[in-house]
Amino acid sequence: MTATPAPGSEPVLLWPDGAPGALGDGQEDRPRLVPHLLPGGAPRSAVVVCPGGGYSMRAAHEGDPIAAWLNSLGISALVLHYRVRPYRHPVPLADAQRAIRLVRHRAADWHLDPGRVGILGFSAGGHLACSAATIFDRGRPDAPDPVDRQSSRPDLLVACYPVISFGEHRHDGSMKCLLGDPPDEELRAFLSLENRVTAETPPAFLWHTAEDQAVPVMNSLLFAGALAEHRVPFALRIFTRGRHGLGLGSAGSEAATWPAQCARWMAEAGFLPPA
């Protein structure tokens, strides 16, 4: 199954009249979604995809190829081009929250189910996805902008070798790009996302490799522990071997099984269309 070329293949600006906090009017100052929408019919689930890149760039192999995989499962996907360095918190989070709201606002136009909107991220994009899953609001019914009336809480989370903590097991580059150098200590604790999990955090699928030298596996373990403490349903897969940044995985490797395992989990969560 492949994405339909129209409607929805053109990038959609999150704020058509200019993004809050924009430092200029270039392409990198205009956060946007690139929709990979499937044909109409019964409303489909949707997943916002957040590529990694240390909050300094967005890795191409963690964007459109992931959307194509989601399309193959019958899920519409939207790749988020969120703002990165020199932008700092709270700008990337605001972009992710706006993306989820916008998907719900456009659900009827895009043949989507507003009650099945997930978020998926890799590495620093995993930190962004987990931030959106733990720091959200239900929307403002009286907001002048109708998009802001929508909830920013995702219904499902997939986190792939995610940056989670800015403590002992941090990824320095992501932390400094997001928070500055040196970072504010209060903000550093706040955005260590093992501290943000509550019973309202959506169900999650996490995977990591034990030998990841860039983002230690303890990041996923800390987040999984917090999910367990708050009785949030989750699945955790730790693969023995594999470098950081694998994306869909290297052919023949153990980690290359994560898409199939995640697909089964998403089916159980009701995100895949009936067989």
- Tens digit of each residue's pLDDT (9 = 90 or more) over 27-45: 999 999 999 999 988 899 9
What residues form DSSP beta bridges with 213?
A: none
The two tokens of residue 240 are 């023995």
**Which of 4-31 are b and which e, b meaning 16 or more Cβ less than 10 Å from the residue's Cβ?**
beeebeeebebbeeebeebeeeeebebb
Confidence bin at 3 (pLDDT 50/70/90): very low
Confidence bin at 169 (pLDDT 50/70/90): confident
Judge contact between 67 and 77, C-beta under 8 A.
Answer: yes
Judge contact between 235 and 258, C-beta under 8 A.
Answer: no
For the segment 129-153, the average pLDDT, to the nearest whole number, is: 97
Domain parsing of the chain, residue ranges: 32-268
- Tens digit of each residue's pLDDT (9 = 90 or more) over 195-210: 999 999 999 999 999 9
CA distances from 2 to 32, 38, 71, 180 (A): 21, 7, 6, 41
- Tens digit of each residue's pLDDT (9 = 90 or more) over 35-71: 999 998 889 999 999 999 999 999 999 999 999 999 9
pLDDT computed for residue 74 by the predictor: 97
- pTM of structure: 0.95
For the segment 217-230, the average pLDDT, to the nearest whole number, is: 98
- Tens digit of each residue's pLDDT (9 = 90 or more) over 101-124: 999 999 999 999 999 999 999 999
Question: Which stretches does DSSP call E strand in 111-233?
Answer: 112-122, 156-160, 204-209
CATH number of 32-268: 3.40.50.1820
